[in-house]
Amino acid sequence: MGGVPMVERATAALMPHCREVVALAPEPGLSGIGLPLVHDVEGSGGPLAAIVAVLRYARDHGDAGALVLACDLPLVDGAFVGALVAAWRGDDLVVPEQAGWIQPFCAVWSTSALEPALDALGSSDRSPLSLAKRLRTRVIAESEWRGHARVAEPLLNVNTPEELERAESLLAAVSGRSVPGGTG
């Protein structure tokens, strides 16, 4: 996005706030990105398997928690991540909310959430959103994080060409440059 790989954008947002940044991949084979790789737990646990893998890695490395940032949220920057870190006071989960939805893939997860996450992974309800309802979750309302956001929609999830175009337009609007085929 904007000529920068989304994994590099996520890494840049996390680096000021982490001891180590690792990339999570569902299976071996992702290479060449310059980050240590952690693989999802085995099985078809979907996105919750990613949370479990990250929390297990953090616990095994002596960390109290982990910042989770999906690469398909390329408008999240270091200031936004810093606001989440500053809000964490030992909660199981600190998560931003926008328009009534929370984003568990841009959040601070405590390793205390590992056991409940493992339980959820073994159940029929593997939704990270359902898990968040069972944890000590601190929801950061848009009014709290808005002052830390550089762009209008930092939690825009980019999974389609249209969403990519929207994200590039939002980025261009704050950087003062135009995007080919876009506005801003």
**Pairing relationship of beta strands 93-98 and 101-102 according to DSSP bridges:** antiparallel
Dihedral pair phi/psi, residue 139, rounded to 5°: -90, 125
Question: pLDDT tens for residues 37-93?
Answer: 887 766 666 889 889 999 999 999 999 999 999 999 999 999 999 999 999 998 999
What gap in Å lies between CA 108 and CA 174, rounded to an integer?
A: 26
Q: Does position 94 have pLDDT exceeding 50, yes or no?
A: yes
> Cβ-count burial of 50 within 10 angstroms (0-12 exposed, 13-18 middle, 19+ buried)?
buried
Q: What is the mean pLDDT of residues 24-47?
A: 72
Structure tokens at 143: 């009014």
Domain count, the chain: 1
pTM of the model: 0.88
Q: What was the pLDDT predicted at 47?
A: 87
Judge whether 180 lies within some domain: no
CB burial of 122-156 (b: ≥16 within 10 Å; e: otherwise) equals eeeebebeebbeebebbebeeeebeebbebeebbb
Judge whether 161 lies within some domain: yes
Judge whether 97 lies within some domain: yes
Q: What is the DSSP string of 137-156?
A: EEEE-HHHHGGG-SSS-TT-
Q: What was the pLDDT predicted at 43?
A: 60
Judge whether 170 lies within some domain: yes
Q: What was the pLDDT predicted at 178?
A: 46
Q: Residue 31: give its domain's CATH number.
A: 3.90.550.10
Q: Does position 181 have pLDDT exceeding 50, yes or no?
A: no
| C-alpha gyration radius of the chain | 16
Judge whether 132 lies within some domain: yes
Q: Does position 140 have pLDDT exceeding 50, yes or no?
A: yes
Instruction: For residue 66, give the amino acid letter.
Output: A
Judge whether 1 lies within some domain: no
Judge whether 94 lies within some domain: yes
What gap in Å lies between CA 58 and CA 65, rounded to an integer?
A: 6
Structure-token match 């960390």, residue found: 63
State which H helix or E strand residue 120 sits in: helix 114-121
Mean pLDDT of the chain: 88
Q: Which domain holds residue 53?
A: 6-175
Structure-token match 């002052």, residue found: 147
* Confidence label for 180 from pLDDT (cuts 50, 70 and 90): very low
